[in-house]
Structure 1
């Protein structure tokens, strides 16, 4: 189990009842919570003193969750889980396209939310090698960078470079790309990539992977307009092209 010691969670929602109940549930699991009822106050606090993860409601007055995420992403790759309206596929797709790590539809199970939070934090801690999880140890120092043509990934430091230029990925994006780059030319199905990105026994729609792949491609094309290393095999899955 992931240790929640010292993990700080920012909760942003204009519904005070949700803030109170989720905050109490997280604190009972050992998390530190900071609660905000609007995006503007949350933005300043998050940028001034970044938490380990944010849970943002999408539909809020003044500054909604989408705008809050966009502004946060200008300076931080902090993991973010979106709370969306039930069956609102547009919200989910837009949120993932903008760089959210996950989404949960309201009404939601607090147990499910805690499981998703733990899964993301575990991946983040393992990638950063910061020692907050029980499974992180000296072995992380022995993790070798992955070099695939112009791509260099350093899992121990959560660093990605393409043609010598830095590419900033969220934890989930990093895990998906790492799975593809580990075996160039080998096709990974959406379900296989879901198993990599969402290791807990929770349901996530496979379109989530499509949204993450689009986001990864967009980020790489920001440093190389002709980036095409991630190939789509329609009806099968994705692969990292062999060079």
Structure 2
């Protein structure tokens, strides 16, 4: 990923400089900004491949910055928080972030998270057709579940014929559900299959993304099975 361009927005000079050096040593190109407004300007002018945003930023906080980015782009976003506080985590994810890390973080963990998010982005863009969802094919590579239509070749989703805009992570989550409609998928399985976590992860990431997906494809389309996980209704 030598050509991968990371936007890193962090107001702490020591953390920003140390993290930038670490990312550059791992082959990333890094644009750094010290506040939210400069970060937004850098995002618009530099068009990074992924954005790494601290939650607590002067000028424009990280959650608001994430919302502004998401209004303009589906580029992957990782939030960085000094606290593992539920409010910080959930607000960042609800704003459209794909993942989060908490400070202090090990550089190898951060690099692994960045690469995992980028893999999801790439896989969503190049996912092959042929998933047998059993939902009644409407055409080659197309699955239908009620008013929901998923084109697995074109990576497009329509609801009642209208296009539904999903982030790459939301698309991968929906594809995972559509590959096994009616089957309960645990949060741990979804973390492994969608977020590429082969280690333990925070299941709140799954819960918030499911809520975001429900808001786009219909609240009743994904059912909660208490104590077990979620399933897609056929």
> Shared fold by TM > 0.5?
yes
Higher relative contact order (CA 8 A, sep 6+): 1
- CA gap of 1:29–1:158, structure 2 versus 1, over 3 A, is farther
- CA gap of 1:187–1:146, structure 2 versus 1, over 3 A, is farther
SS of residue matched to 2:177: helix
Aligned to 2:135: none
Aligned to 1:228: 220
- Give unpaired runs (5+ residues) of structure 1: 130-138, 222-226
Matches for 1:1-243 after TM superposition, within 5 Å: 4-129=1-126, 140=128, 145-149=141-145, 150-155=147-152, 157-221=154-218, 227-242=219-234
Aligned partners of 1:56 and 1:80 also within 8 Å: yes
- CA gap of 1:141–1:206, structure 2 versus 1, over 3 A, is closer
What CA distance in whole angstroms lies between the structure 1 residues aligned with 2:144 and 2:17?
47
Aligned to 1:132: none
Q: Count residues with an aligned counterpart.
A: 225
What CA distance in whole angstroms lies between the structure 2 residues aligned with 1:156 and 1:126?
12
What CA distance in whole angstroms lies between the structure 2 residues aligned with 1:218 and 1:62?
30
- Give unpaired runs (5+ residues) of structure 2: 132-139
SS of residue matched to 1:35: strand
Measure how far apart 1:218 and its partner are: 1.8
Cα-Cα RMSD: 2.0
Measure how far apart 1:142 and its partner are: 7.9
- CA gap of 1:34–1:155, structure 2 versus 1, over 3 A, is farther
TM-score, normalised via structure 1 length: 0.85
